[in-house]
Amino acid sequence: MSFYFKKRFSFVLIMIFIIGSMVYHVPVIKADVVLENAQADKARLESELANLEQEIAAKQKELEGQKGKSVSIDRDISILKTQILKSKLNIKAKNLLIQKLGGEINTKNKKIEALSTKIDSEKESLAQLIRKEREIDDKSIISLILSQDSISDAYSDIDTFASIKQSIKNSVDEIRGVRVLTESEKKNLENKKNQEIDTKVELENAKAQVELNEVQKQQLLSISKNKELEYSKVLAEKAKRKSEILAALFSLRDTSAIPFSKALEFANFASKQTGIRPAFLLSILTQESNLGANQGSCYVTNMDTGAGVSSKGKIFSNVMKPTRDIKPFIEITSMVGRDPYKTLISCPFGSSGYGGAMGPSQFIPSTWQLLKNRIAQALGVKAADPWSPKDAFMASSIYLTDLGAGNNSYTNERNAACKYYSGRSCDSKKPANSFYGDQVMARAKNIQNNIDLLQD
């Protein structure tokens, strides 16, 4: 390697590092400015939100005091007015939160963009370093030594070669580190987007509640204090509606229907143990019951092959998977004193796959075996029964917690519902299952309205 070539090579190497440094630092400076502005906006919005939350808490305290008074038109009008004011404050808070999340999402997008630019720049510098390394590597170290005019020149080339090797390692390490950071930021971005969706759903619910309360308030205002009879009729209609809700039968798959009052009792009990929202749990079990009406129920007739027959007489060869579920099915039915040949389970859907799911919660036997101890412990019983409504409510509640529905947010509940149905989230690219999550969430909203009416 000639002295001239060494000088040219050293000059090129230095320029690579200088240009690379310029490429890296410009976006970082811009990102810092964006981040500083975003943090200022975030602090302002958080302060406003904190003030609104204090106002909402004050209205809630006022509301509780009003509900403690004896029933009268004035009391009920005051309650509705306070509820409306509280809901409007809540709407304002949700709008601020959406604004705050929008700023955070924008910041995350810019940060990811800057990180992607940095990775691209680092890759280009790495490519240049690798090309230079290969140029030197084409000659052996011995050749480099023999080609020099002096030993000191040879050592200089070897040092340069080692320096390039180290630079390549540093560049690769940098790319790996930035990639890890980029993936972390993408995950944070996804969480922020889910929070935004949840807040928008809550905002729409708050707006609907204001509209409902306004209608009720106007109805009461139209009743004169001298017309107590009309007010008595309003109270009677409300009491009648509550009774109808409580008495309505709540359908359950492969077992007898129970009154809604009993279903709500089981759901509330399970919620205290797991944190799953009662309306969401009730909606899941209703959805499974509806699927049962369409899909039908079966009995296993052959415990060796898993073949069986539907309750309507249709023969299936694949009612239950023999290698996976027959043995635990026999164990479960034995523990709870049921005849395995006379116990309803789900029929297979179509010609492929298997049925075999048990009771209202629709767990296959092998899955129930994994959760049976947790279910029994939560219920305080020796053995949990998949066909018992109370046991099934607890089983579904525990499983939904494992699927991520415990914090009661819209997106987490919807995804947990889809996973409950198919094992995949609602946005999976595999065969669509979002219909299940959408139906569950729509029904949960209606059930929640009925629960709220019962608590009024």
Where residue 439 falls among pLDDT bands split at 50, 70, 90?
A: very high
Q: Which domain holds residue 259?
A: 247-455
15 and 114 together in one domain = yes
How far apart are alpha carbons 402 and 57 in whole angstroms? 32
Mean pLDDT value across residues 288-310:
90
Which range of 100-109, 117-126, 438-447 scores highest in mean pLDDT? It is 438-447
Say whether both 194 and 316 belong to one domain. Answer: no
Q: What percent of the chain has pLDDT over 90?
A: 37
Verify that 213 and 322 share a domain, yes or no: no
Is 50 exceeded by the pLDDT of residue 124?
yes
- Note whether 200 and 101 are same-domain residues: yes
Indicate whether 233 belongs to any domain.
no
pLDDT computed for residue 19 by the predictor: 44
Domain check: are 150 and 268 in the same one?
A: no
d(CA 11, CA 164) in angstroms, rounded, equals 13
Dihedral sign (CA 253, 254, 256, 261):
negative
Looking at the structure, tell me whether residues 273 and 195 fall in a common domain.
no
**Which tokens sit at 215?**
């209608």
Q: Is residue 241 part of a domain?
A: no
List 316's β-bridge partners, or say none.
308
Shared-domain flag, residues 274 and 392: yes
Residue-wise pLDDT tens digits, 33-59: 555 666 677 677 777 777 777 877 777
- 253 and 215 together in one domain: no
pLDDT, one tens digit per residue, over 316-332 is: 999 999 999 999 999 99
pLDDT for the residue 378? 96
- pLDDT for position 1: 45
Q: How many domains does the chain have?
A: 2
- pLDDT greater than 70 at residue 396: yes
345 with 197, same domain: the answer is no
Q: What is the pLDDT of residues 130-146, one digit of tens each?
A: 776 666 665 555 555 55
Q: Render the burial of 289-313: b for 16+ CB within 10 Å, e for the rest.
A: bebbeebbbbbbeebeebbbbbeee
pLDDT tens column, 219-269? 777 775 556 667 777 778 888 888 988 899 899 998 889 999 999 999 999
Which range is most confident: 3-17, 191-205, 408-422? Answer: 408-422
pTM over 0.75: no
pLDDT tens-place string over residues 159-218 = 565 676 677 777 777 777 777 777 887 888 888 888 788 888 888 888 888 888 888 888
Report the pLDDT value the prediction gives residue 422, as an integer from 0 to 100: 87
What is the average pLDDT across 8-23? 43
Q: Would 231 be classed as within a structural domain? A: no
Residue 238 is assigned to a structural domain of this protein: no
Pair (97, 134) in one structural domain: yes
Task: Name which residue leads in pLDDT, 168 or 113.
Answer: 113
- In this prediction, residue 26 carries a pLDDT of 38
Would 296 be classed as within a structural domain? yes
68 falls within a domain: yes
Residue 439: inside a domain, yes or no?
yes
Residue 343 lies in a domain: yes
Task: Please give the pLDDT value at position 142.
Answer: 52
pLDDT at 18: 40
Domain match, 172 and 87 both: yes
Cα–Cα distance for residue pair 418/264, rounded to 1 Å: 23
Whether 213 and 256 map to the same domain: the answer is no
pLDDT over threshold 50, residue 299: yes
* Band of pLDDT at residue 32, cut at 50, 70 and 90: low
Q: Which residue has the higher pLDDT, 233 or 415?
A: 415
Residue where a domain terminates, one of 186, 221, 256: 221
